[in-house]
Amino acid sequence: MNPSPANYSRITGTGSHLPPGRVSNADLAARLAADGIETSDAWIVERTGIKARHFADAGAQTSDLAVHAARHALEAAGCRPEQIDLLIVATSTPDMIFPSTACIVQRKLGMHGGAAFDVQAVCTGFVYALAMADSMIRTGLATRALVIGAEVFSRILDFKDRTTCVLFGDGAGAVVLEASDTPGVLASELHADGRHVGILCVPGQVAGGQVTGDPFLRMDGQAVFKLAVGVLDSVSRSVLAKAGRTADSVRWLVPHQANIRIMQSAARKLGLPADRVVVTVDEQGNTSAASIPLALDTAVRGGRIARGDSVLLQGVGGGFTWGAVLLDF
Ligand code: UT7
């Protein structure tokens, strides 16, 4: 029998995990130089704000990073794995083509029986997954969800393409979202525009027992940059209006961590000072679907985001996809 519909859903615990292998810009520049490819710490910091990223060892899969993050979130929420009745993993780098990474994580956590599935919305994946979990809790399809963003983007990077390989990293973040009588998630909005499929994609596919086509991430950085700045502003205003709130009521902006310049522009457009923006891109790079829950957990554990704070999550990425969630933490 399905649980009763809830008035709200609320985050009761956050967690995250970075693989131990930290790669500084200087480390990466040295690696690329061995192949005759030139880049520098100065270029990467100036254009992106990234100083380092973490890469998982060859033996670590997305589900392994996800399980670490999930355990931290469950512990923070004071919740046992068997109390979870919905598990969503947002990822573009699943362990297998199928089954879903969510089912693999479910098994590794020793859970069974609840719904488990992956969401594929690239860097907007966590925002999509959180909005879906909120809807499912409010309609009575679930009571306690584990929502994870996890990636091993290092596996799909072309280390001969300096325009993309310096930008991304690996990691995972998670939240426990529970039915609640107090808010919670206040408003969400999700969008996509498939006309822009080609500006950020991994075009390869598996057929006839082989990867056919190009298996690496390809991006038109400037096109993504321009689109991102516009859609993030409009979707943020839209969720604020839905919740009857104004931008100055936002205590913390937790944007997708792609580029410090996009984040600063988003904050500026909303009239938010830089010290209300959570930034982790400097030490983590762009971890795609993992970046927002990683940033959220970093700010919660660092004592910045406190209970009751108003938090605006902003996602944008391949598809083209974008979305936002406004919540009281
Ligand atoms: O999570 C998904 C969302 N993704 C994003 O949000 C990414 C959005 N885009 C961006 O963040 C930026 O467009 C980039 C960081 C990718 C690039 O920054 P940019 O300021 O748009 O640089 P650019 O592409 O205009 O390139 C400027 C120059 C070029 O050289 P020339 O043509 O001016 O001689 C590039 O070849 O920088 C060169 N360049 C590099 N130089 C050193 C490109 N990559 C590198 C590099 N190191 N790694």
Residue 78 lies in a domain: yes
Q: Is 207 exposed, middle or buried (0-12, 13-18, 19+ CB in 10 A)?
A: exposed
Phi, psi angle pair for 25, to nearest 5°: -60, -40
pLDDT band at 8 (very low <50, low <70, confident <90, very high): very high
Note the pLDDT of residue 301.
98
pLDDT at 3 over 80: no
Angle at which helix 62-77 crosses helix 291-301, to 10 degrees, equals 40
Last residue of a domain, one of 128, 149, 180: 180
Residue 1 lies in a domain: no
Max CA pair span of the chain: 61
Check which CATH number belongs to the domain holding 173 and give it: 3.40.47.10
The catalytic position among 123, 165, 191, 259 is 123
Report residues whose beta carbon is within 6 angstroms of any ligand 1 atom: 39, 43-44, 47-48, 123, 162-163, 166, 200, 221-222, 224-225, 228, 258-259, 262, 286, 317
Decide if 54 is catalytic: no
Q: Kindly state whether residues 253 and 118 are assigned to the same domain.
A: no
Q: What is the pTM of this model?
A: 0.97
Residue 131 lies in a domain: yes
pLDDT at 310 over 90: yes
Q: How far is the CA of 287 from the centre of ligand 1 (A)?
A: 17
Q: Kindly state whether residues 162 and 283 are assigned to the same domain.
A: no
Q: How far is the CA of 136 from the centre of ligand 1 (A)?
A: 39
Domain range holding 66? 8-180
